Amino acid sequence: MGWGASISRIPGWGSVDGKTDVRVEATDRGDDTVRIDATRLHDSLDQMAKIGATPGGGVTRLALTDEDKAARDLLRSWLEAAGLAVRVDDVGNMTGRRPGGEDGPAVILASHLDSVREGGRFDGALGVLAALEVVRTLNDRGIATRRPIEVVNWTNEEGVRFEPAMLCSGAVSGRFDRPYVYGRVDRDGRRLEDELRRIGYLGAAADRPRPGVAYLELHIEQGPVLEAEGCPVGIVPGIVGITWLDVRLSGRADHAGPSPMGLRRDALAAAARLVSGVEAMARETDDAVATVGRLVVEPNSINTIPGRVTMSVDLRHPSAATLDALAARFENLVAEVQGMSGVEIAADRFWTSEPTPFDAGVLAVVQDACDDLGVPAGRLWSRAGHDAKYAQDLCPAAMIFVRSRDGLSHNEGEYSAPEDLEAGAQVLLGAAVRLAG
């Protein structure tokens, strides 16, 4: 069952940002409803999922790799085929612009095409390709909007190859300066700037996405809430706080045999105390989560006491104060483990994405679209980071979620039912048309 965005009967006014009045004109289409082309949406998702496809049915499409380039090239061809003018900025963000009756700020529909290692086919790609489907549908029906609509693909949302996450939407919102962004290196020491140039996506700062009338991002929930509530779609009032630390432990490599236990400075044994300590503090704190997702042991030999370990810590909580308290608690644990182990430990809290509420006006427009379509929508804060966080710095923003089966994501088994994906895209169409007038 698909929901048709009936845009013929939604004349009305609403203020999106307290300043800009959004007038939604009744079209002259009578009772005609405008539906996305579900087959085309699924086909585009299938084609995109072939790029970086993994044997386990997922995708590995790390930022600025050849796979990311192939995805970008495919998106560019689709955007141009839809008549959009495509521009690429100095950090690789791609923008396809559909003109409106007026020039000026656009309604921005965005997400990302890069993935994590062995990720799923919908994380990011759904938002970009549903935005494309909105444009394709408007084109099919010859519907002109008052304001331009822009489709944006953000560079390096995941922050896996080049930490931190949402790096290039953060650059556009002024959170990261260009030298910092360009200088980020991957685990092989390759610089972000050089990789942009290598894949041919190093554009101009003048081509950065500009502040829009409003920003909408459709994304899979990546958690279990909508499934538990029986809702295909969710309206997202904000994103929780996230902080990332890079931790380097320096002990002393030594022979695994003759070295007496009391003299050892075992970097991995010390790291293990940090890993279990991080897990314990999150379990003890309501609404907190923590993960050590990355850990490298050196020299990584069966009969050598590990001399060096580098590891990551990802802490998340809805409250900035609690997030800071968790980070402080971790620093105390570091001091304690350093004291007892003789291993030197340096913890660098290098990125914090503070809790971000989205715009009430845009959220109300999304709610209207759901109501108009009769789509049951849950309400939940996002515990995953998204570019919408930095987009909110640029203009009023909101997110729309699609239910995830078993809440699973960052896993090749990531799945959302076709009708849920369609419902999400239909809500995106309805909200975008309201905002674009």
**Contacts to Mn ion by CB under 5 A:** 123-124
Closest CB to ligand HGY among residues 359, 414? 414
* Residues paired with residue 67 on neighbouring β-strands, in sequence order: none
Reduce the DSSP state of residue 375 to 3 states and report it: coil
By a kind-dependent CB cut-off of 5 to 8 A, residue 234 interacts, out of ligand HGY, Mn ion, none, with none
Q: Are strands 397-402 and 214-220 parallel, antiparallel or unpaired?
A: parallel
d(CA 139, CA 155): 26
By a kind-dependent CB cut-off of 5 to 8 A, residue 124 interacts, out of Mn ion, ligand HGY, none, with Mn ion
Cis check for the bond before 99: say yes or no (omega within 30 of 0): no
**12-71 binders of ligand HGY (CB under 6 A):** none
Q: Are strands 12-15 and 21-24 parallel, antiparallel or unpaired?
A: antiparallel
By a kind-dependent CB cut-off of 5 to 8 A, residue 159 interacts, out of Mn ion, ligand HGY, none, with ligand HGY
CB of 393 to Mn ion, least distance (A): 18
Closest CB to ligand HGY among residues 225, 429? 225
By a kind-dependent CB cut-off of 5 to 8 A, residue 385 interacts, out of Mn ion, ligand HGY, none, with ligand HGY
Cis check for the bond before 357: say yes or no (omega within 30 of 0): no
CB of 220 to ligand HGY, least distance (A): 10
CB of 266 to ligand HGY, least distance (A): 30
Binding segment (CB under 6 A) for ligand HGY, from list 41-49, 65-73, 152-160, 393-401: 152-160
DSSP 214: E
- When binding is defined by CB under 6 A, the residue of 158, 195, 266, 359 that contacts ligand HGY is 158
**380-419 binders of ligand HGY (CB under 6 A):** 384-385
Closest CB to ligand HGY among residues 157, 227? 157
Counting contacts by CB under 6 A, is residue 159 touching ligand HGY?
yes
CB of 77 to ligand HGY, least distance (A): 26
- When binding is defined by CB under 6 A, the residue of 157, 195, 266, 422 that contacts ligand HGY is 157
Closest CB to ligand HGY among residues 159, 209? 159
By a kind-dependent CB cut-off of 5 to 8 A, residue 165 interacts, out of Mn ion, ligand HGY, none, with ligand HGY
Radius of gyration, CA atoms only, the chain: 23
Binding segment (CB under 6 A) for ligand HGY, from list 61-69, 154-162, 200-208, 226-234: 154-162
CB of 166 to Mn ion, least distance (A): 9
Counting contacts by CB under 6 A, is residue 170 touching ligand HGY?
no
Counting contacts by CB under 6 A, is residue 195 touching ligand HGY?
no
Binding segment (CB under 6 A) for ligand HGY, from list 74-82, 151-159, 337-345, 366-374: 151-159
Q: Give every CB contact of residue 79 below 8 A, 6+ residues apart in sequence.
A: 86, 94, 96, 132, 151
CB of 353 to ligand HGY, least distance (A): 9
Counting contacts by CB under 6 A, is residue 421 touching ligand HGY?
no
d(CA 414, CA 195): 28
Positive or negative torsion for Cα 364, 365, 370, 372: positive
Instruction: Read off φ and ψ for residue 171, nearest 5 degrees.
Output: -65, -45
CB of 320 to Mn ion, least distance (A): 22
Which residue type sits at 6?
S
d(CA 181, CA 374): 43
By a kind-dependent CB cut-off of 5 to 8 A, residue 91 interacts, out of Mn ion, ligand HGY, none, with none
Q: Decide if 403 contacts 109 (C-beta within 8 A).
A: no
d(CA 155, CA 208): 11
**Residue with tokens 């849920």, as numbered in its chain:** 420
CB of 246 to ligand HGY, least distance (A): 15
CB of 103 to Mn ion, least distance (A): 31
Of all helices (H) and strands (E), which one includes residue 283?
A: helix 267-284
Q: Give the residue from 58, 168, 184, 68 showing the smallest Cα distance to 110.
A: 168
- How many residues bind ligand HGY, per CB under 6 A? 6
d(CA 407, CA 184): 31
Contacts for 282-288: CB closer than 8 Å, 24+ residues apart: 282/315, 282/326, 285/317, 285/322, 285/326, 287/317, 287/318, 287/319, 287/322, 288/315, 288/316, 288/317, 288/322, 288/326
From the CB of residue 198, how many other CB atoms can be counted at a distance below 10 Å? 14
CB of 217 to Mn ion, least distance (A): 9
Residues binding ligand HGY (CB under 6 A): 157-159, 165, 384-385
